[in-house]
Amino acid sequence: MPHIFIADLKPGDRISQFFLIKKKERRRTRTGKDYLDVLLTDRTGSLGAKIWSEALNQVDPLFLEGQFAGVAGKVESFQDELHLAIEKIKGVTFMDPEQLQKAGFEMDLLIPRTDLDIPAAWDALLAGVEAEVEPPSLKALTLSLLHSHQETFTQWPASKMYHHAYWGGLLEHTFRVFQLAREVIRFYPELHKGLVLAGAVLHDLGKLKELEGVLSTDNSYEGQLLGHVTLGWEMVREAAKGLSWEDRNILTQLEHILLAHHGQLEFGSPILPQTREALLVHMLDDLEGKLKMMTDHLEQSRGEGNFTDWHRVLKRRIAKNRKPGKEPGESAAGV
């Protein structure tokens, strides 16, 4: 049977098809029974799923995070959100090529990707740095890092789970932050434009070493122990060694932007923003990431009410946009 995209699933649908396994976590019910909490993805989004204790021992070793699996089960609705009750699951590594072909396995249907035109966005990012980042040493550093990491920068996700967690997500997020920075900096001519733009481009550079791969939900060994903030700072410092700087303080301030871009010590920044440029990059990064999380949560909400279910990262429910003319309390279905 043809693949039914997650965006098109409805309560009551019975499916038998392939997904990418984004998460696999063993949990326990209030009554003490073990179950697996699974996150399935395809090109259109993600779907929560459960494997209850009755079937747990039969399926646990047969699929892994970051890999594809054949899944059979029934789509159900709970608290206005869809999930899949998994009845059978088997990783594609346990299936031979003939089985996969007969079952209609198509990898391109299962990998979430950015809607951004990657080549066009990449060219625009390079052109923007070339035209607007000064002084020359700062421009050279930024372009050098982009060119030397082009392949991974245009493929990597921006995070494992929370925002832009798909192929090309890092470029999408970076490009959006860069676009925001270009607009906002016009209202603050007293700020160092080159530092803001270079910081917008390079703030998440360390994700290329922190995340293990495009499809993996794991951090690399150094990514887990050091984190992308520190790794990005190291990458910038190493790349800057061969350059001649008009003002060495410019490099120090760029390093500060990277180290402070999470904004708070409890959020992973080893230091608070102490320059206006660092504060601006932090706030634009935070804005773009949280808007994306809200947008994704709204798109995944299938309920009839005026608000989504609880977003555990943002710690709030999100109001759904109503069509013109709708009164409060009316159904927001179809938005």
Containing 91, the helix (H) or strand (E) segment is: strand 81-91
Give residue-wise pLDDT tens across range 200-209: 999 999 999 9
Residue 62's pLDDT band, with cuts at 50, 70 and 90, is: confident
Residue 170's pLDDT band, with cuts at 50, 70 and 90, is: very high
Domains of the chain: 6-109 (2.40.50.140), 118-293 (no CATH)
State the pLDDT at residue 323: 56
| Cα–Cα distances in angstroms (integers) from residue 317 to residues 48, 98, 164, 294, 313, in the given order | 18, 46, 20, 9, 11
Containing 96, the helix (H) or strand (E) segment is: none
State the pLDDT at residue 334: 33
Cα 199 from Cα 185, distance rounded (Å): 12
DSSP output for 150-198: HHHHTT--S-SSSSS-SBTHHHHHHHHHHHHHHHHGGG-TTS-HHHHHH
CB 38 within 8 A of CB 111: no
Residue 322's pLDDT band, with cuts at 50, 70 and 90, is: low
Give residue-wise pLDDT tens across range 75-107: 998 777 789 999 999 999 888 888 898 888 998
Check pLDDT > 50 for residue 327: no
Check pLDDT > 90 for residue 55: no
Residue 262's pLDDT band, with cuts at 50, 70 and 90, is: very high
| Cα–Cα distances in angstroms (integers) from residue 184 to residues 6, 118, 125, 175, 197, in the given order | 37, 24, 17, 14, 11
CB 124 within 8 A of CB 105: no
Radius of gyration of the chain from its Cα atoms, rounded to whole angstroms: 22
Check pLDDT > 70 for residue 325: no
Q: How many helices (H) and strands (E) are present in the chain, helices listed first?
A: 11, 5
**Length of the chain, in residues:** 335
| Cα–Cα distances in angstroms (integers) from residue 81 to residues 48, 112, 188, 290, 292, in the given order | 9, 20, 44, 21, 19
Give the predicted TM-score (pTM) of the model: 0.83
CB 110 within 8 A of CB 42: yes
Q: Which two tokens stand for residue 262?
A: 């999470």
State the pLDDT at residue 324: 55
Residue 255 CB: number of other CB atoms within 10 A? 18
Residue 239's pLDDT band, with cuts at 50, 70 and 90, is: very high
Cα 157 from Cα 150, distance rounded (Å): 13
State the pLDDT at residue 311: 83
Cα 135 from Cα 254, distance rounded (Å): 12
